[in-house]
Structure 1
Amino acid sequence: MTFKTTVAAVAAAACTLLALPASAQFAKAEEAIKYRQGSLFVIGQHFGRIGAMVNGKLPFDAKAAQDNADIVAAMAALPWAGFGPGTDKGAPHKAKPAVWSEQAKFNEHAQTFQTEAGKLAAAARTGKLDQIKAAFGPAAQSCKSCHDAFRNR
């Protein structure tokens, strides 16, 4: 295991542990909503950079792909704490009511994304575009299926 791999694994584990009590840290629903929106925005920015390389819109840069994939994987556990009870109100958002009424299904989607983000980061560590492309598709599909079920456009 390389130093960078170890650091990424430790960072991912720390993010997961830190995200667990996060919902208790929000004094107001608005704070939780902003937290989840901010987390998802950052994930989307880094995921989009990988997508641009995978789709040939940006030149492939193995290091940039790895750096972006590591960020996505490390942050993949964070947004979900911002969807706690009572966070369906308090600030404008795009979450459908099903997030709270079908919480088990929503949590399953969140877990799938976290798993796929980890696979994407592992593929990016190979430095091979074909492996990144193979992992990017399922990761992107996990985003899409969750958005289709739980996000208003």
Structure 2
Amino acid sequence: MRSLLAAAALALLAGSALAQPTFATPQDAIKYRQATLKEMQQNFKRVADMAGGRAEFDAKTAEASAARAAELIKLPWAAFGPGTEGGKASPAIWKEQDKFKAAAAKAEAEVGKLAVAAKTGSLDAIKAAIGPAGASCKACHDAFRE
């Protein structure tokens, strides 16, 4: 029984390690974070366009796009490690790590709330959540993007 528990714990740890991206070069990290953030933005924009009346509302598309944005926004932060400066990232990211992490967490939370709102299928719920989600993204960009 002990060996079974040890094997399960080891498998869990190995799976966790595999979930964290690794980068051969700083440029790989920059490309990764830019790609994930761009894809997140495209999904977010699809929902924002529906909420703003710039696109026809489709509840299933809104739900799928918001869910995808909520998953994608969790990914880029590991690519802002030491030595990965560059791209459009402000040096403030590396100088003010606590503020950056707080801004990233706020954006994750607000985009997560958007996904929950979109899951209801209610355009009004999406409209209520899109503003705070967009504001959290903008606040991070204003502080940490060049």
TM-score clears 0.5: yes
The alignment covers a number of residue pairs equal to 131
Pairing partner for 1:96 from 90, 97, 100: 90
Structure 1 vs Structure 2 CA RMSD = 1.4
In 1, Cα distance between equivalents of 2:20 and 2:56: 40
Structure 1 residues without counterparts, runs of 5 or longer? 1-16
In 2, Cα distance between equivalents of 1:74 and 1:132: 17
In 2, Cα distance between equivalents of 1:125 and 1:71: 12
Pairing partner for 1:109 from 87, 103, 117: 103
Q: What is the match of residue 79 of structure 1?
A: 76
In 2, Cα distance between equivalents of 1:19 and 1:55: 39
Pairing partner for 1:140 from 114, 134, 138: 134
Structure 2 residues without counterparts, runs of 5 or longer? 1-15
Q: What is the match of residue 21 of structure 1?
A: 20
In 2, Cα distance between equivalents of 1:39 and 1:19: 18
In 2, Cα distance between equivalents of 1:19 and 1:77: 15
Q: List structure 1 runs of 4+ shifted beyond 6 angstroms.
A: none
Q: Percent identity?
A: 51
TM-score normalized by the length of structure 1: 0.82
> How many angstroms does 1:21 deviate by?
2.6
